[in-house]
Structure 1
Amino acid sequence: MSAIHTPVARRVNRAQQREGGAQMINCDRLCRAIGPAILHGGLLWCLWGNGPVSAEEPSDRWETYLEAGVQAREKGRYAEAQRLLLEALREARTPGEDDTRAAESLNNLGLLYHVQGRHAQAKPLYERALAIWERRLGPEHPASAAALNNLAEIAAEENDMAEAERLYLRSLAIEERTLGQGHPQLAVGLNNLAELYRRQRRDSGAEALYLRALAIVEAAEGADHPDLAPMLNNLAGLYKQQGRYALAEPLYQRTLAIRRGHDGPIHPLVAVGLNNLASLYHLQGLTLSAERTYVEALHVAEQTLGREASLVGTILGNVGWLAYDQGFFAQAKQSYQRALVIQERALGPDDLRVATALDGLARASRRLGQVAEADRFAARAASIRTRQTQGNAEGLSTQGRTAQGAQME
């Protein structure tokens, strides 16, 4: 079953990002985004909080589009967010405008694609943003650290763990030097590195980093701040992975309470929290609680993102697994089939989440006596994983040459 680990973002203070008097970038808060079946660590997400602006000047139009686009993305209105962020990028390229505005637009558009699981589209946007920020602000600037963090997220989701750790550590080192060890922004990097260690089963290191991140945010922002939710969610995931269910459940419940209080009861992040709580009930054998909570998660996800969103496919896959575990193989197959269709449309035919749905179909078909069909599903899933592994190996080889020449649970 797929628990969803929620990304969080770095904040970069606009006052720290001036060069020659030009205003650069402002991120007023951590983000709490959702996207693919398994999300790890955190992403940079920028909000602008300077009050009303005029629509007369190009710079004002840029900021207006950015602010509206980020707000639409935060509410899960992804089509609207894409339109607004593309407008912001066009405005940022107006002659005479500082190109750090283009970097900010590129980064935010990358995040929009990222939280939808469109990693191949997000990565080059992050890379372009990083290149601009390093050129204009320097490689030791918090903005550069934030872009490195987002690229580390992509590397982790591509299972390039060594590259992800290198980028996370570089990003953390920059922020420790520039912001100080007790700064709440540092908690984001600690959470992200902890999530990488969780995936690698480096449990003691992961737990220590999560607890340090939570302590920093609670001290700086209070016990109900929305920035805590993704960190609580991820620590709960670690405890669930360890079989420490009694510790995991109150953390998932607290995550949900924070998100409902901040975002309302119908929001993609609430669907994520419900999915994760349902998966915990499932592991504990609390079938009725798991089913009820998955149904609620599915309802919220469909209401906020639509019936064809990747998150809906993830939850449907979990519903299928629950049915399979109860011996309802025909019902399980039906859920997996719908999950497969959604993930193929949302993510493309070669995504690992498509392989996960195919694995479920293979299991259910085999139990229904449909052996030939099960073998076809299993073979296709294996083929996807082989192509992904080969693609990652080729990417690692290319990165190595460049560096020498010059980088669901």
Structure 2
Amino acid sequence: MDDFEHLPMKGQTRVARIFAESGYWTQAERLQKQVLSLQKTLLGEHHPDTLYSTNNLASTYQARGKTAQAEKLQETVLSLCKELLGEHHPNTLTSMNNLALTYKARGKTEQAEKLQETVLSLQKELLGEHHPHTLTSMNNLAGTYQAHGKTEQAEKLQETVLSLCKELLGEHHPDTLTSMNNLALTYQARGKTEQAEKLQETVLSLRKELLGEHHPHTLTSMNNLALTYTDRGMTEQAELLQEKHLFLCNELLGEHHPHTLTSMNNLALTYKARGKTEKAEKLQETVLSLQKELLGEHHPHTLTSMNNLALTYTDRGMTEQAELLQEKHLFLCNELLGEHHPHTLTSMNNLALTYKARGKTEQAEKLQETVLSLQKELLGEHHPHTLTSMNNLAGTYQAHGKTEQAEKLQETVLSLCKELLGEHHPDTLTSMNNLALTYKARGKTEQAEKLQETVLSLRKELLGQHHPDTLTSLSNLAGTYQARGKTEKAEKLQETVLSLRKELLGEHHPDTLISMSDLALTYKARGKTEKAEKLQETVLSLQKELLGEHHPDTLTSMSDLAGTYQARGKTEQAEKLQETVLSLQKELLGEHHPDTLLSMSDLALTYKARGKTEQAEKLQETVLSLQKELLGEHHPHTLTSMNNLAGTYQAHGKTEQAEKLQETVLSLQKELLGEHHPDTLISMSGLALTYDARGKTEQAGKLQETVLSLQKELLGEHHPHTLTSMNNLALTYQAHGKTEQVEKLQETVLSLQKELLGEHHPHTLTSMNNLALTYQAHGKTEQAEKLQETVLSLQKELLGEHHPHTLTSMNNLALTYTDRGMTEQAELLQEKHLFLCNELLGEHHPHTLTSMNNLALTYQAHGKTEQAEKLQETVLSLQKELLGEHHPHTLTSMNNLALTYQAHGKTEQAEKLQETVLSLQKELLGEHHPHTLTSMNNLALTYTDRGMTEQAELLQEKHLFLCNELLGEHHPHTLISMNNLAETYRARGKTAQAEKLQEEVLSLQKEPVGEHPSNQL
């Protein structure tokens, strides 16, 4: 500083101004302080030169982010100007205007607005509307209106300014061009991006012509136009213009100039929008480092750069770094600007979004509620920032499972946006889209679809089909089509989106990868699992290359691919991939993060599919415990986990625990979501299946009929969920002996699935298989055989011989061969089936044990009783070891072995085993369960074979009484029970009773089905 002490005060003032104009604010501040101190000493505080220097120093404070010091100094200047020169003096008005700009920078928009309205009123009175100073004041006031959310008033004022500038100064005057530029920025803020673009292209063209490409104003215009290109989805044009802008700034101003740093930052944001997040991160780290060095950590520009870098860290999956940077940013904003400053509120909001991304939804919610409360108080409910905060909070409510609160808030936002901005404004369309997604989450898929179709139509009209927002709308609508069962429409729409994104953004852009992933999930839903797998493997490969293995998007893709591997029967590959995902998420996000819990849940389902039910159960109990603790019992994810655990309990033979858990889930879902929500209906259906498994067929039937009725009403007869419900109801009818109704319902399902999904879809093949089993139960074994041979042939072609579904079909066909007396074909097929199960699943897998058991039954039918017995003893031994003696599968195996002992003449061993089975079933399932009744009947037949006809008679009389009570006298099982008892009466010499009973059977078989409650499902 000593270098300038020899200069006179005016010389020092000029040098300070040069420093300021060159961006050397620190040097400017030091010199200005020195000049001001001398002027106060030599000229006094009231001298015009002293006031001029005070004002200059205030401007430098503002440029350095010291807005509080700037405000104090400007208030002093204004007070002195009013005292010395009067309120109407031009210098006083200039001081008012400067102070107003500082108020605006400090977030005091209301005070700024009042002061600027005063300045404008006085200038119109003193100088007239056409004076340049008046026009400048109009323009300043318009900028404050915009900051205050009064964009319509801002636009009108700027259009007036531009009109006057053109009239008074001509179109080529610098002030006219500045007015054009300001109006363009307001058009942009009001969603009129096309008008903004045209105006900015005009400004840039004129400035190049008049000032040259290297002039600072020309550079500003380049930058503004580039930002508009970005808003209009023209990111390639934006990137080219910003790279040129940065090159010129570096050349003309140097790397350290504030304008150069701003240019770097803008280019980084465009790189980010174009999916070049690594380049964005490097550029933003450079900007932040230079700003800390040149401006200090506390400068507003430095704080903005911290925030931008944190957001890029989030996009790159570096959420921990993002959180640390945003917490520091918020601390500095609170310290420097105060809690009520707009920048502080923005900082709070950004940190809340990062908390949400890191699974800290409770912290996010509290912070967003604070932001919203402060914005309502400071800016009013109608301000754009307030509306944005409402929308963000709604998103967090949704993530927190508070979908009803989310919906109400989003409906408020949409109503206000329509009122304030109009239906066509981008923010209004975004609000419509957000509300539609919440409707979808709340099961209101029809409302979601209508709203998304409106958004898509408006975006096509306003932005064009190629705009990123339009493509997002296409993608969202496709997701809703899928939720509504319109999978063909979803697929077509997603293929369109993917094609356009590849063309516009390139194959490596994050949005393109998201489209690939979405399309793959639709392929999977439509049974095109091979296409889904290939697409997901491509996505995963690209994400590993571009984002790294640890990025959240990469982990999501791993998880999606694992789900497809499972659907394709590649359960071992699915398990390995899910274990990798879970390990990485625990390391990166922690065990309590929602994504980690979802991965645990997915892995548990794969363990279950691979027969590792004990591991599945433990993992699901852990997930449920953590979700109750972190999210609460009422959160959708918690309810899903309860349902999953119930399914595993059922697979583990713990049907009573499954039932209790499912009843809890259903009760909570009815309370929270309503009876008509898709999730509630799925829970009803799941509970019905458990009732069925527990022998409560009447309750099962009633519940399934309710589900089917609601799904037909809400989703239509053709929706996949409706077809699944028809199928479930058919299975319950079958358990109830309503064989004719079963067959009709399954034929309807199969016909609809062939029409809607095609013959090759997995659901169609499942329906063919179910119908074949019904034909078999109906004695239509020839029809069953043909259908099962078709299913097996198609599954071999589509899924391969090793797929679990193919193996199931082999087994089913083998059983039909047995029923048709084709025991040789049955045996060959079952031996192949067992070989494949051993190879693919291992000896201990439940499916392998079932296969052993089925082969044993075929050996028995083939007269190979010794081989049958050995195989069944092996099965029983393994099941006792793996599942425990009380598991339903173990009891079934005991029963099968007992029948083989009986066929082998080992009636004593058969009797002991059957007595054990019956005792355990009474204890575990109750006397009224169908399995218990079957065991009673089997034991009675063994008593008969062993000559213990008295015990047989007592047991069969009890069996018949229970069948009549539970199933009704017309049920096939009741009629069989009557016949068996009649045979025992005959064996005991009670021929009259035997004849009477058999005549009754014959009479009942001729009668139509009566009105027993079991036939009133």
Contact 2:558-2:581 at 8 Å conserved across structures = yes
Q: What SS class does the counterpart of residue 49 from structure 1 fall into?
A: helix
Query: Which of the residues 159, 165, 183 maps onto 2:383?
Result: 183
Equivalent AA in structure 2 for residue 80 of structure 1:
E
Among 77, 87, 98, the residue aligned to 2:264: 87
Partner of 1:293: 493
User: 2:350 corresponds to which residue?
Assistant: 150
1:17 to 105, 113, 118: 105
Comparing both structures, which one devotes a greater share of its residues to helix? 2
Alignment partner of 1:176: what SS? helix
C-alpha separation in 1, matches of 2:557 and 2:402: 28
The answer for unaligned runs of 5 or more in structure 1 is 1-12, 30-46, 394-408
Cα deviation, residue 263, structure 1: 3.1
Equivalent pair of 2:106/2:341 in contact (CA under 8 Å) = no
Residues 137-195 of structure 1, C-alpha deviation per residue, up to 9 Å, x if partnerless?
Answer: 32211121112111211111111101211221221122112101232321111111111
Q: CA–CA distance in 2 between the matches of 1:353 and 1:217?
A: 32
User: Which of these residues, 563, 567, 571, is aligned with residue 363 of structure 1?
Assistant: 563
1:383 counterpart = 2:560:
no
Residue equivalent to 1:216: 416
State how far apart, in whole Å, the 2-side matches of 1:48 and 1:99 are. Answer: 28
Q: Answer yes or no: is the 8 Å Cα contact 1:333–1:361 preserved in 2.
A: yes
Cα distance, 1:201 vs structure 2 = 1.9
In 1, the alpha carbon distance for the partners of 2:310 and 2:505 equals 19
Which segment is superposed worse, 130-139 or 337-346? 130-139
Q: Do structure 1's residue 257 and structure 2's residue 393 form an aligned pair?
A: no
Letter in 1 for 2:455: T
Which of these residues, 311, 326, 338, is aligned with residue 138 of structure 1? 338
Given the alignment, which residue of 166, 171, 181 partners 2:366? 166
Asked whether the equivalents of residues 145 and 171 of structure 1 are also in contact (C-alpha less than 8 Å), the reply is yes
Choose which of 67, 71, 77 in structure 1 pairs with 2:235.
77
- Aligned in 2, Cα 1:249/1:373: closer, same or farther, shift over 3 Å? same
CA distance in 1: counterparts of 2:553 and 2:422, whole angstroms: 36
User: Aligned with 2:426: secondary structure?
Assistant: coil
Q: Determine the C-alpha separation between the residues in 2 that align with 1:372 and 1:72.
A: 48
Residue correspondences, number = 362
Report how far residue 96 of structure 1 moved.
6.9
Deviation at 1:92, TM superposition (A): 6.0
How far did residue 291 of structure 1 move?
Answer: 0.7
Larger deviation, residues 71-80 vs 181-190: 71-80
Counterparts of 2:401 and 2:428, CA distance in 1: 23
* Cα separation, partners in 2 of 1:390 and 1:93, compared to 1, 3 Å: closer
Between the aligned partners of 1:129 and 1:49, the Cα distance in structure 2 is 27
Do the aligned residues in 1 keep the contact of 2:361 with 2:399 (CA within 8 Å)? no
Q: In the superposition, relative to structure 1, how do residues 66 and 260 fare at CA in structure 2: closer, same or farther (>3 Å)?
A: same
- 1:255-284 alpha-carbon deviations (Å, 9 max, x no partner): 223433443321222222111111111122
Higher relative contact order (CA 8 A, sep 6+): 1
Task: Find the residue that maps to 2:424 and give its secondary structure.
Answer: coil
Q: 1:27 to 1:72 in 2, by over 3 A?
A: farther
Q: Could you tell me the TM-score, scaled by structure 2's length? A: 0.32
Correspondence list, 1:10-409, <5 A:
16-18=104-106, 49=185, 67=224, 70-71=227-228, 73-74=230-231, 75=233, 77=235, 80=239, 87-88=264-265, 89=287, 95=294, 99-108=299-308, 110-111=310-311, 114=314, 119=319, 122-123=322-323, 126-127=326-327, 129-390=329-590
Radius of gyration: which is bigger?
2
Measure, in 2, the Cα distance between the counterparts of 1:28 and 1:63.
24
User: Post-superposition shift, 1:227?
Assistant: 0.5
Q: Is the 8 A contact 2:291 2:302 kept in 1?
A: yes
Q: CA deviation at 1:221?
A: 0.8
- Give the whole-Å Cα distance in 2 for the aligned partners of 1:163 and 1:274: 33
Q: Which residue of 2 aligns with 1:39?
A: none
TM-score, scaled relative to structure 1: 0.75
Pairwise CA distance, 1:363: 2.7
Where in structure 2 are there 5+ consecutive unaligned residues? 1-100, 113-139, 150-182, 187-199, 247-261, 266-286, 594-636, 638-1017
> Which has the larger displacement, 161-170 or 343-352?
343-352
For residues 8-56 of structure 1, the C-alpha deviation after alignment (integer angstroms, 9 at most, x for no partner) is: xxxxx997324999x9998799xxxxxxxxxxxxxxxxx9938869965
Relative to structure 1, the CA distance from residue 94 to residue 62 in structure 2 (aligned partners, 3 Å threshold; closer, same or farther) is farther
Q: Which moved more, 1:295-304 or 1:209-218?
A: 295-304
Change (3 A) 1:203 1:111: same
Distance 1:362 1:76, change over 3 A: farther
* Residue aligning to 1:4: none
Deviation of the 1:67 alpha carbon: 4.1
Write the letter of the residue equivalent to 1:368: R
Q: Structure 2 vs 1, CA of residues 76 and 194 (structure 1 numbering), >3 Å: closer, same or farther?
A: farther
Aligned 8 A contact 2:223 2:263 in 1: no
**Deviation for aligned residue 1:209:** 0.5
Q: Alpha carbons of 1:124 and 1:262: their partners in 2 closer, same or farther (altered >3 Å)?
A: farther
AA aligned opposite 1:173: S
CA distance in 2, matches of 1:348, 1:290: 30
Q: Partners of 1:352 and 1:95 in 2: how far apart?
A: 35
CA distance in 1 between partners of 2:455 and 2:412 (Å): 17
What is the percentage of aligned positions where both structures have the same residue?
Answer: 24
Letter paired with 2:541: V
CA contact (8 A) 1:310 1:347 kept: no
Name the aligned partner's letter for residue 209 of structure 1: L
Alignment check: 8 A CA contact 2:358 2:589 kept = no
Kept after mapping to 2: 8 A contact 1:118/1:347: no
Q: Partners of 1:56 and 1:128 in 2: how far apart?
A: 37
Aligned-partner residue type, residue 558 of structure 2: L
Per-residue CA deviations over 1:286-335 (Å, capped at 9, x if unaligned) read 12210111012212322333211222222222211112122222111111
CA distance in 2, matches of 1:181, 1:259: 26
Indicate the SS of the match to 1:153.
helix
Contact 2:295 2:302 in 1 (8 A): no
Q: Residue 202 and residue 96 in structure 1: after superposition, are their counterparts in 2 closer, same or farther (change >3 A)? A: closer
